[in-house]
Amino acid sequence: MFFRELNRGKCKTYLLGCERTCRAVVVDPLKENTGRYIAVAAYHGLKIDYVIDTHTHADHRSGIWDLAELTGAKAVMERYAPAPHIDVHVSQGDVIEVGDLRLKILFTPGHTPDGISIYVDGRVLTGDTLLIGGTGRADFAGGDAGKQYDAVTQRLFGLPNDTLVFPAHDYRGNHYSTIEKEKTSNPRVAGRSREEYINLMNNLGLPLPDKIQEALQANQSAIDDDSLKFPDLGQLGSVRTITPSELNARVIAGNSPVILDVREEDEYRGELGHLAGSRIIPLRLLPQRTGELEDLKHRDIVTVCRAGIRSSTGAAILTGLGFEHVSNLKGGMLEWNDAGLPVER
Ligand SMILES: [Fe+2]
């Protein structure tokens, strides 16, 4: 297998290739290095079939969309990933074939809700779930320390001991580790119970990363052209939510709010469908199209998207523009579908 880390910095991007068929996959690309990845792949005669993000990154803008567009590769993320323009959504146990390589997907949430690790040929790319001598923080972007502990101790530590570990970040100049080494000496996890781990992770007291909102909201929405000014954390934090069952009860009672879907057209008509009677304005166009909603300023509005993240941004934008009663559908169409509620396609 061709295997190379391409950034030579704290953020790690991996190029993996099948040497027989010359097909390749890029994992966790940085937007600013897209040209380098294409050049390195071309230099080695590799054609990029897939681009995978192991999770929605908060510390850098993802190169997944640029790279997919420029090479024709398919963009891959976990099912709970909130962003649009993902060609393949994967879940636990799925396999992605790249030439002769079989990439096995392990669902490893906790750092974010959409975290995956990728096992291939005795190596595992662990994203920010398991780092070398550490774990990714679980205190923002939907993190959950308990789920992270389970992912690390059950899924990742269940791999063969000699599996090589390649994380998405390293701040100490390490290149790789092994499952055995992390099992026995990772100071966050080794010898700690689930409860002790949760307690530790919830009390790290770390400052938020620089530019977190610029990177995180850009990656959650695939909007990176600065055309949209994202709401700040305070505005997002004050957005009201409504659960799928609450919204459904209002619809059934004939007391439906205005339902505004902020996804892209292909998602609206796609696999997850949409709510009957909903109208659609994609988030990236919302600020310039609020004129269409002017007569709804005093009405109840519920914003909807895939995972309830982009719609939270949409709700905050509308609230900031004087719309008085905007709520966000919690968990988006994923949770709506999981609850077995009716959709149209
Ligand atoms: Fe991360």
CA 216 to ligand 1 centroid distance, Å: 10
pLDDT tens profile 306-344 = 999 999 999 999 999 999 999 999 999 999 999 999 999
When pLDDT is cut at 50, 70 and 90, the band that residue 145 belongs to is very high
d(CA 174, CA 221): 32
d(CA 196, CA 169): 24
CA 331 to ligand 1 centroid distance, Å: 20
CA 293 to ligand 1 centroid distance, Å: 36
CA 53 to ligand 1 centroid distance, Å: 10
CA 112 to ligand 1 centroid distance, Å: 7
- For residue 121, give both structure tokens: 């040929």
CA 166 to ligand 1 centroid distance, Å: 14
pLDDT tens profile 66-106 = 999 999 999 999 999 999 999 999 999 999 999 999 999 99
Closest of 345, 142, 344, 339 to residue 247, by C-alpha: 339
pLDDT exceeds cutoff 90 at 283: yes
Q: What one-character DSSP code corresponds to residue 232? A: -
CA 55 to ligand 1 centroid distance, Å: 7
CA 7 to ligand 1 centroid distance, Å: 16
17: helix, strand or coil: strand
The pTM of the full predicted model, rounded to 2 decimals, is 0.96
34-43 vs 64-71: helix axis angle to the nearest 10? 40
CA 14 to ligand 1 centroid distance, Å: 15
Q: Which helix (H) or strand (E) holds 3?
A: strand 2-5
